[in-house]
Amino acid sequence: MRKKSTRVSRAVRKAVGTYQEDQDMLIQALLDLQSAFGWLSEEVLTELSEQLDVPLARIYQIASYYKAFSLHPKGRHIVKVCMGTACQVRGSPQLLNVTQSMLDMKPGETSPDMQFSLETVNCLGCCAMGPVVAVDGVYHSKPSTSDLREAFEAGRRGKR
Ligand code: FES
């Protein structure tokens, strides 16, 4: 039998309760839980399934469909390299190569020390600044290798 965590139970109850009247409550609850835990563990999804009386398979289907949800733990710092068209024509593939080699990981991976997760995105909404890398939500326009090194080091030191 699954050992229940009080923290998970409470967080799920809160997310479920907030959106009781809303038709899209499952997605909203998942968004809240993603935000609370940084990812959606099996424990969280099972608890949500039990509290909502929705089949776990249905919840997994939704959680794995949307890119906003992660079924794996994320690093402390999220690095997003924009691969949208405007950034691609301005050199984002090279920027991604440099970023991958500096962090020694590929998109979708998290570093073994759980410090960084690397993602690619389709647009960060600031196409004129491209190519763009976002580190913990701070956008870096046309960053040089030393700009990236500084941004990653700032993340490691807990500063931005
Ligand atoms: S395409 Fe990169 S910010 Fe829009």
Q: How many CA atoms lie within 13 A of 153 on its CB side?
A: 6
Domain encompassing residue 59: 6-65
Q: In this structure, which amino acid lies at residue 18?
A: T
Q: Is residue 49 part of a domain?
A: yes
Confidence class of residue 21 from pLDDT cuts 50, 70 and 90? low
Is the pTM value of this prediction over 0.85?
Answer: no
Which strands form 116-121's sheet, in the order they lie side by side? 116-121, 77-82, 132-135, 138-141
Whole-number Å distance, alpha carbon 159 to ligand 1 midpoint, is 25
Which atom of ligand 1 lies at the shortest distance from residue 129's CA?
A: 3
Which residue has the least CA distance to atom 1 on ligand 1? Answer: 84
- 130-153 per-position pLDDT tens digit: 999 999 999 999 999 999 999 988
Q: Are residues 99 and 33 part of one domain?
A: no
Q: How many domains does the chain have?
A: 2
Q: Are residues 98 and 152 part of one domain?
A: yes
**At CA 14, angle to CA 57 and CA 68, rounded to 5?**
50
Q: Are residues 83 and 27 part of one domain?
A: no
Q: Are residues 12 and 59 part of one domain?
A: yes
